[in-house]
Structure 1
Amino acid sequence: MSVDVTSMTAEDVPADGTASANGLIVMSYETGALPLDPYVQPDVRLQGYAHDVAMALCMKTEGYHYPVIEFDWNSPDATPSTRYRRARTPEEAQLYGYRLSPSDGDPRVREAGDYISSQPAAYQTQLGACADSVSEMDMFSTVVVGTNAEIAGIEENRPLRDAMQQWRDCMMPLGIPDLPEDHPGLAPSLASTWELNLPDSNALIDLTSLTSEEVTIAVQDAQCNASSGYDRLRYGLYWAAEDQILAENGPEYAARREQIAAQEQVFKDYILEHRDEL
């Protein structure tokens, strides 16, 4: 199942508030919702919770603690996960530059990672053994992942390429020699200077090291992105392509959603049965 968006234009992109082909998803650039979101995989927060419970039970048998990141799937705040992450606004860039904001990710994940990495060698050995054991459990070894959809032509789309050039022209006065050429964002030289070029860099969450230079560049980056229309158009192209795929393959995706829902129920049942044993 594939769609080529090379020849799509802004006129082919519906407006925010438009419902997907089957009415399950509403287009929203702010949230990044896409038509195929419900068909990708079980809720990663739910799957992660079940995985943590399984790991914690395994580690407990050897006298070790394993941090569990809980997820209340019945909470009104448990909104569906989305896959498209919109560009940062100038206001957000003013506050955070290119660093992670407090709303980016779950701080419990980093805290759990810090705890695990601080444990001695014996803990790490048992951790590896438990990870192998848990990965072989049926509920984790058969998880549906991916949309089974291919979207081609994003980088070749002429309106998007034009928007990219507008972004570069807008950024040129800053005199940055290695501005990205394929999509807006932080120049590699600056990412290296500010130590933001590694996914697990502590600088990503360290707002105390945020400089006025970084803020100035990040704000202009965000302003140029908004004025060029690049990110909104890119989101719109993904929306239009996915909605077309969904409209043409409705029965297949309905069956896929049933499979995902069944897997999510398995996770819930496991959590409810075992979480009180921790």
Structure 2
Amino acid sequence: MAQWALPLDAYQNDEGGNEAYAEQLLVGGCLESQGISWPVAYQPEQADGNGNTASNGRTLFSSDIAQRFGYHQARTIDLPGFEKAREIEEVPRELSASEDEAFTQCLRQARQKMGTEDPLPQLSQEFAVEPYDESERSAPVRAAAKKWVTCMKPLGISDLGSSPSEMPSDSLAKRFGLAGDGNTSPKPHSDEIAIAVKDASCRTSSGWTHVLYDTEYERQLPVVAKHADELNRLRIQIKARQERVHQVIADNAPAR
């Protein structure tokens, strides 16, 4: 439950970050061979999401996460090993017309080598939508959500929703620089952390987190059984793709 691991996760390619890194390593080498500087910093490989994001893409939330991030998304570069990568990425670099053409060609070659020209079918995400929606509407989850509302009311949030899935509310998102309106905040304020920690506590005490996870897990099982053949074919594709990506990183990654 801590990682919100679900049955359909086994059929999802959760290594988009590794693919992008491997791609850049090949592009960097290709450009360097043409006399074009394209430094790529060392990055640790990621396989289990990062910070407060699970490998299935779901945003995680707990008392520990609330204490650390509030409602903010953890940035990959906040993790060990990414500081140097950020320094390189933040250096402004205008490509000339010839460099841009070389980059496009190198990128095409990199994707051909890794076999990542085409995206994999997103069956896991597609099949997960209905079980999640059904779980949110189920009687046990709605009953737990009502208890959560009662627990949260003392905070006096004017636009408090009827479910934890609606947090942070619009007013809180704007107040804490999360609304995407240009007034963004890079780090959580103490008030945000206090509300997030209370929210996490209420989700636990109301039973909402536990019952939603259990319900969603159970509702995914028949979906996996129903689509077993196509999911297993996809899993074979994912494994082969990931092996190619990891090999590229092993062969081309710079020293730490």
CA distance in 1, matches of 2:151, 2:67: 18
Q: Residues 107, 271 of structure 1: CA spacing in aligned structure 2 closer, same or farther, 3 A cutoff?
A: closer
Tell me if structure 2 keeps the 8 A contact 1:94–1:218.
Answer: yes
Q: Deviation per CA, 1:40-59, whole angstroms, max 9, x where unpaired?
A: 12633432332221232244
Moved more, 146-155 or 254-263: 146-155
Aligned to 2:135: 154
Aligned to 2:120: 144
Quote how far apart the aligned CAs of 1:103 are: 8.8
Q: Deviation per CA, 1:5-33, whole angstroms, max 9, x where unpaired?
A: xxxxxxxxxxxxxxxxxxxxxxxx01222
Quote how far apart the aligned CAs of 1:256 are: 1.8
The letter for the 2-side match of 1:82 is S
Moved more, 167-176 or 237-246: 237-246
Matched, 1:196 2:192: no
Aligned to 2:95: 122
Moved more, 247-256 or 30-39: 247-256
Tell me if structure 2 keeps the 8 A contact 1:56–1:68.
Answer: no
Q: Give 1:267's match in structure 2, choosing from 240, 245, 249.
A: 245
The letter for the 1-side match of 2:173 is A
Q: Give 1:185's match in structure 2, choosing from 167, 171, 194.
A: 167
Q: Residues 155, 95 of structure 1: CA spacing in aligned structure 2 closer, same or farther, 3 A cutoff?
A: closer
Matched, 1:168 2:168: no
Give the structure with the higher percent helix: 2
Q: Residues 52, 202 of structure 1: CA spacing in aligned structure 2 closer, same or farther, 3 A cutoff?
A: farther
Tell me if structure 2 keeps the 8 A contact 1:56–1:65.
Answer: yes
The count of residues paired between Structure 1 and Structure 2 equals: 239
Aligned to 1:5: none
Quote how far apart the aligned CAs of 1:131 are: 5.7
TM-score (norm 2): 0.73
Identity in percent:
22
Aligned to 1:222: 200
Aligned to 2:62: 88
Please give the residue correspondences for 1:244-263 in structure 2 after superposition, counting only pairs within 5 Å.
244-263=222-241
CA distance in 1, matches of 2:98, 2:8: 39
Aligned to 1:70: 43
Q: Residues 264, 120 of structure 1: CA spacing in aligned structure 2 closer, same or farther, 3 A cutoff?
A: closer
Tell me if structure 2 keeps the 8 A contact 1:178–1:188.
Answer: yes
CA distance in 1, matches of 2:232, 2:184: 42
Q: Give 1:97's match in structure 2, choosing from 63, 66, 70.
A: 70
TM-score (norm 1): 0.68
CA distance in 2, matches of 1:85, 1:166: 22
Q: Deviation per CA, 1:120-145, whole angstroms, max 9, x where unpaired?
A: 43379956973675257332222424
CA distance in 1, matches of 2:250, 2:67: 43
Gaps of 5+ in 1: 1-28
CA distance in 1, matches of 2:77, 2:170: 21
Q: Residues 58, 108 of structure 1: CA spacing in aligned structure 2 closer, same or farther, 3 A cutoff?
A: farther
RMSD between aligned alpha carbons?
Answer: 3.7
CA distance in 2, matches of 1:127, 1:198: 31
Which structure has more RCO (C-alpha within 8 Å, separation ≥ 6)?
A: 1
Tell me if structure 2 keeps the 8 A contact 1:41–1:145.
Answer: no
Matched, 1:240 2:218: yes
Q: Residues 188, 128 of structure 1: CA spacing in aligned structure 2 closer, same or farther, 3 A cutoff?
A: farther
CA distance in 2, matches of 1:216, 1:40: 34
Matched, 1:47 2:14: no
